[in-house]
Amino acid sequence: MARRETSDEIDAAAALWAARVDGAPLTQAEEAELQAWLAADTRRLGAYARARATLVRVEVARALGAGYDPDQFLHPAEAGEPAADLDGDPRLSRRRMLWLSGSALVATAIGAVGTGLFRRGRYYETGVGEMRRIAMPDGSIVNLNTASALYVRFSDDRRAVFLDAGEALFEVAKDSSRPFIVTAGSTSVQAIGTAFTVRRDTDAQVSVVVSEGVVEVARAGRDAKPVVLKQNMRAKATARADAPIAASEIDPELVQRQLYWREGKIAFSDATLADAAAEFARYNSERIVLDDPAVAERRITGLFVATDPAGFADAVAASFGFQARRNGEVISITAS
């Protein structure tokens, strides 16, 4: 059995990764290596976030100058000691001065650098049943689906996005000098100006659907020839990094149905109830249970509210003559 990595070892490795990311843009292979490292242990993401935050605090301290003493600013004045002021104003305490200095520093950084914050990276996530629309500084739009998480990092020569979990629709602003690259596990998707979705399932399978333009799908960090996807095409990549990427054309209506989640809906076309129940589980803490295989294999077509599994169960029961029963967060659908 492999030895379990200690917290100190994880923190040390996280600090090294944070320093590498802060020092210069990572290559595609390095980005893939970082994501593989993060995915291998659930403790690593938190350690990496802490390491990044530590670098930010250090940089703030440097910006405030060599005479900056956090204890002198953060601790209240001793009894009888006059409060620090600014231009003789006794209302401005040292704590207030620190807050103002930090606020001014942030405001100046945003105004002067603009997209510079994205050079160091931004992390976005959604909870179960939550959708989020994110405007990128280059004009691109990211629609983040339920229970999803991604990390965005822009540099002078590329726009890098890492999909840690879930699904996202990318509407990419054209910029031939900076390719837009989405990495999901061992799979990478590259586009210049297009619209496509990337979904990363819990079994590590990645699927890509192109609704506009052209993208290239490849195994991250590998030299194999990428698979080219055009409008109304889909690619699926399994968890095996050495397995081929399967690509196929799909009906344009199917592409549009798969985008209904942006409106908080789920569209099914001849889907089994088992598959429908699994899809509803992505959006809700309530679970649809189908203990009877004959019930689970029945097929359904329709458009449903993603956050209303009970309504879906009632519709199924009415359509097939089944029974839908609710017990806490469990909804059972049975033949009788």
Distance of alpha carbon 298 from alpha carbon 316, whole angstroms: 10
> What single letter denotes the amino acid at residue 113?
V
CB of 293 within 8 A of CB of 233? no
Q: Please give the average per-residue pLDDT across 162-174, as a whole number.
A: 94
* The length of the chain, given as a count of residues: 336
Separation of alpha carbons 22 and 24, rounded Å: 6
> pLDDT tens for residues 42-91?
778 777 877 776 655 555 454 445 454 544 444 444 444 444 443 344 44
- What would the two tokens of residue 82 be? 């006059």
Which amino acid makes up residue 80? G
Regarding whether 245 and 133 lie in a shared domain, the answer is yes
Tell me if 200 sits within 8 A of 206, measured CB to CB.
Answer: yes
With a threshold of 0.85, does the pTM exceed it?
no
Are 277 and 288 within 8 A, CB to CB?
yes
Question: In this structure, is residue 256 part of a structural domain?
Answer: no
Asked whether residue 105 is assigned to any structural domain, the reply reads: yes
Q: What is the pLDDT of residues 132-151, one digit of tens each?
A: 999 988 899 999 999 999 99
Q: Is 112 found in the same domain as 37?
A: yes
Task: Give dist(CA 146, CA 285) in Å, integer.
Answer: 12
In a domain, 255, yes or no: no
Residues 6+ positions from 313 with CB-CB distance below 8 Å:
288, 324, 326, 331, 333
Whether residues 123 and 246 share a domain: the answer is yes
Q: Which two tokens stand for residue 308?
A: 């209303």
Please check whether residue 78 lies inside any domain of the structure.
yes
CB 160 within 8 A of CB 124: no
Tell me if 146 sits within 8 A of 128, measured CB to CB.
Answer: yes
User: Is the Cβ–Cβ distance between 195 and 169 less than 8 Å?
Assistant: yes
Per the model's pLDDT, the better-predicted residue between 36 and 248 turns out to be 248
Could you tell me the residue range of the domain that residue 226 belongs to?
Answer: 119-250
* Token duo for residue 309: 């599994």
Element (H, E) at 197: strand 195-200
> 233-237 and 246-249 as β-strands: parallel, antiparallel, unpaired?
antiparallel
Predicted confidence (pLDDT) per residue in 282-325, tens digit = 999 999 999 999 999 999 999 999 999 999 999 999 999 999 99
Closest CA to 74 of 94, 57, 55: 94
User: Residue 183: inside a domain, yes or no?
Assistant: yes
Residues 231, 126 share a domain: yes
The total domain count for the chain is 3
| CATH code assigned at 310 | 3.55.50.30
